[in-house]
Amino acid sequence: MTDMQDAIIIGGGPVGSFAALILSKLGKKVTVFEDHPNIGSPAHCAGHISIHSLKTLGLYPLPKKIVENEFSQANFYSHTGFSFPVNLSKPVTCAVNRELFDKHIFLKAKDAGACFHLNSRVQSLLVENGFIRGVKVSQINESDKIFKAKIVLDAEGISSRLLKQTDLKPLDSKHLVYAVQAEVENLENMQSDRVHVYFGQAYAPGFYAWLIPKLDGTAKIGLATNKGNPNNFLDKLMFDHPKASKYLSHAKVRKKEFHSITLGGPIPKSVLNGFMVLGDAASQVKPTTGGGIIFGLRSSIIAAKIANLAINNNDVSENFLKLYQEGCIKAFSFDFNTMLRFRHFLNSLSDNKLDKILRFCNKIGLNKTIQNVDEIDMQGRTLIKTISKPAVSVTLFYLFITYLTTNTLNLD
């Protein structure tokens, strides 16, 4: 058994490290356990993030070597290859190198005083008198050790192995999509000033595919799907898609990673006595795009502040920690609910309907109307802000009619 800590954090991903940073800055003794020997590796993620949100979190500008590209444009393709282009007035998103991004947050947390143990897998939670009081950790070439703390924060990511040892309901596997993410080089005629998004049951059923060019001429491509093998769909995208194949059919794939994405919205309950769940483990991921970095980081600020108060008040009961859950609901539930509905709507559309919608958006000039949007994470609020613009309300009306004909009349 080792020294009592204020907080133990399970997982040195961006969310665990960010929570460690904030708690350490608040003067707490924090220990983070990370299973892998290196922070940020293997990287399984496209690292496409909103600049506005990073600024809000105090993380932008990032050191230059972390940022692979910045984007003010995106092309959305239907299965026919029809492209709806969106051109915003300034760069709104960036692609980051996920390994370097995770290391950047880790180093900040270490500088603030957090202690990291790499190659250290938390095997189980230590429960005493109905409270989670610590963890059992296995480290290479050593016998398992118990570490105790006043509070344990679970940022173990999507696997939710430890969460499943508790009474909390883990994320629902029926909302998982299976993803592949690849690094490619030798692209032809690449438009590297924009992100490319490909819809279509033939290429990414239940989600979409992406191509994110980097300034060095290489790119990240990937997709997620709710059925079949993502690797087969990736081949199809690269070789058969009417537009993507023009860039990708001779591309060389350098590296591939496989991982899941949760699209079901946050788990209903994320606290127990002495225990809080955050990040992908709590399914704090946008159901529309699968982006989990920003919501995970935002939630970790709320979690760290409540954990700090709980430790100061000597009350880590579930009843007190509920403030974290309530804080997240207050901050994000409108946006999550809007995004969940939109995901449900997208999944109900046939490829032909999606093609029609993209053509409609193009025809009425939706692109020009949304030129000044820079908040792309809080999608419910962005919708409310833009709803008074004629092209947005006409599009919504069109979507509503499409929704009705898809879900009740089924006229396709």
| Contact footprint for ligand FAD (CB under 6 A) | 10-16, 33-36, 44-49, 121-122, 155-157, 159, 161-162, 179, 181, 222, 259, 261, 279-280, 285, 290-294, 296
Task: Return the number of the residue (133 or 259) whose C-beta is nearest ligand FAD.
Answer: 259
Task: Return the number of the residue (22 or 46) whose C-beta is nearest ligand FAD.
Answer: 46
Task: Return the number of the residue (212 or 358) whose C-beta is nearest ligand FAD.
Answer: 212
Task: Return the number of the residue (12 or 213) whose C-beta is nearest ligand FAD.
Answer: 12
Residue 220's closest CA among 98, 39, 100, 74? 98
Q: Which of helix, strand or coil describes residue 310?
A: helix
Pairing of strands 271-272, 48-50: unpaired
Task: Return the number of the residue (55 or 368) whose C-beta is nearest ligand FAD.
Answer: 55
| Strand partners of residue 198 | 77, 209
- Minimal distance in Å, beta carbon 155 to ligand FAD? 5
- Minimal distance in Å, beta carbon 400 to ligand FAD? 29
**Alpha-helical regions (H) of 169-292:** 230-240, 244-248
Cα separation, 131 vs 150, whole angstroms: 10
Helix (H) or strand (E) holding 346: helix 318-348
Q: Which of helix, strand or coil describes residue 124?
A: strand
- Minimal distance in Å, beta carbon 397 to ligand FAD? 31
Cα separation, 279 vs 331, whole angstroms: 15
- Minimal distance in Å, beta carbon 362 to ligand FAD? 25
- Minimal distance in Å, beta carbon 164 to ligand FAD? 11
Q: What is the DSSP string of 58-98?
A: T--SPPGGGEEEEESEEEEE-TT--EEEEE-SS--EEEE-H
- Minimal distance in Å, beta carbon 175 to ligand FAD? 14
Task: Return the number of the residue (156 or 355) whose C-beta is nearest ligand FAD.
Answer: 156
Cα separation, 203 vs 237, whole angstroms: 6
From residue 207, alpha-carbon distances to 198, 288, 357, 407 in Å are 9, 8, 16, 19
Task: Return the number of the residue (80 or 124) whose C-beta is nearest ligand FAD.
Answer: 124
- Minimal distance in Å, beta carbon 19 to ligand FAD? 9
Cα separation, 56 vs 275, whole angstroms: 27
Task: Return the number of the residue (204 or 357) whose C-beta is nearest ligand FAD.
Answer: 204
Helix (H) or strand (E) holding 176: strand 176-185
- Minimal distance in Å, beta carbon 102 to ligand FAD? 7
Pairing of strands 48-50, 93-96: antiparallel
